[in-house]
Chains A and B, each alone.
Chain A
Amino acid sequence: MDVLFGNLGEFLTRFGGTIGLFVCSAIASLILGVILAAMRVSPVPAMRATGTVYVTLLRNTPLTLVLFFFALGFTKLFFYLPFFLLAVIGLSLYTAAFVCETVRGGISTVSEGQAEAARALGFGFTQTLTLVVLPQAVRSVMPPLTSVQIALLKNTTVAAGFSVFEAGGFYRAVNERGGSTLVALLWVALGFIVLVIPLTVLQRRLEKRWSVAR
């Protein structure tokens, strides 16, 4: 308890950093992921190929390596950016590949008749996708998408290995003040459990409420 209350400010700031990183990356990865998914089902071969190559590359690269590049290589190659932004870019690029695959899986759960009816009404690809298929895919996509975002929340700790603003680095601050590293890390673990549980509950609820018999 002493370890937590003696360093409560530090603990909360760091979890604030984690949540900030999570929210920014979640929004960016959702936008990019949906665009990639649209590219992968589009009628343009070049777009499909680009989407496929992107997803294949990013899904088969360890996140640590992605962040390794952004933490240590990016400034060398391009220009200076604060690490928070670099971490957001790295996490979003990585997570977008998983979002894309989830959304694409959701698109395939919408029954073919829906898209066929849309085409019969004279809708083009963009209209079919945005007005008919995607709104219906949202329902079946929500639960797996929440899993992807929970994974993202946990993945923010990888960024802690490269910098210090994040919850994963809490133990270092405690250690410097002579506190027990073990206890500090147990508190961090507990903090994550507390953050993940509401998301899991939300996921179960969405699953129950939105599951439809097709």
Chain B
Amino acid sequence: MSAPTAVLFDVPGPRARARNTVAGAVTLAVVLALLGVLVWRLAATGQLDARVWEWVLYENVQLAILDGLIKTLQAFATGAVLALALGALLALGRLSDHRPLRSVCSTVVELFRAVPLVVLMFLFYYGLPSAGINVSTFVAVVLGLMLYNGAVLAEVFRAGVLAVPRGQSEAAYALGMRKSGVMRFVLLPQAVRSMLPSIVSQLVVLLKDTALGFLITYPELLFQAQFLGSNAALGSPLIPVALVVAVIYITLCLLLSALANWLERRSRRNPAVIAVAIERPDDA
């Protein structure tokens, strides 16, 4: 998305330049004031003292955070693979010529898009035991991620396939290909290229959603943060740990977002990729 910033205002003249300078200075002052208040409160409540940052040096703490990071990435990788597979299956179902299959898949997609992911995870972790089925936190997290993101990805896939110009499939049918052939050799290869940025953005959402595992005590990064943060022997460094964990999450997500943007730029350069702006499903 690029906003036409240059169109909304003229090249500033002397008065507009002066006004813009003042507005810029005020903005800077407000931002600096907000940051200043934050730093002042951090310092005043002792969050910047050496004692609550000592844990950074301890090997056990480093290992605990690393362990949380690995758990986060495990849930992400498993969830991503399963969600992609489920999304593909559901999308194929929704594009099918058979009405019953189509309506079943549509219902499943709508259902899992409407139920909050937290409720899904609670259902698997806290709900299933009352039906006599016990699942581990990992399974509950991955199942939730798979069902919710699978449903969202199904919509992405479907939109991508529908965005391929109709002439392509008509030509393929004219060559005597069958439905599966048309899908596999003609539609999907073209669709995947135009969908790739949207898919990666959805994976960013999935990565962020792994943090919900914290709520069902899956020992991922945020859970480790709370565990370390409430450790009195380390001076209960909740805010320092949370800051470090935030940096880790933001870095991971930015790396994935950068990948999405790079893919988008690359596909825009390539004239063979269908220039259809598929809505990026980054609303969660």
List chain A positions with a Cβ less than 8 A from chain B. Answer: 39-48, 50, 56-57, 59-65, 68-69, 72-73, 76-78, 98, 101-102, 104-105, 107-108, 112, 115-116, 119, 124-125, 128-129, 133, 144, 147-148, 150-151, 154-158, 160-161, 168, 171, 175, 180-186, 188-189, 192-193, 196-197, 200
Contact = CB atoms under 8 A, between A and B. Distances in A.
Contacts of B9: 42-43, 119, 124-125, 128
Contacts, number: 192
B118 A158 contact: yes
A129 B116 CA distance: 36
Nearest to A107: B3
Given A60-B249, A129-B8, A171-B127, A192 B27 contact: no
Interface stretch (B158-166, B178-186, B189-197, B207-215): B207-215
B127 A186 contact: yes
A32 to B, nearest CB: 14
A98 B118 contact: no
B211 A105 contact: no
The interface size bin for chain B is 35 or more
Nearest 3 Cβ contacts at the A-B interface: A161-B215, A62-B211, A60-B253
B75 interface: no
Interface string B117-152: 111101100111111000000000000000000000
A128 B6 CA distance: 12
A40 B127 contact: no
A214 B265 CA distance: 26
Contact of B24 (A44, A147, A155, A192): A44
Contact of A78 (B5, B41, B119): B41
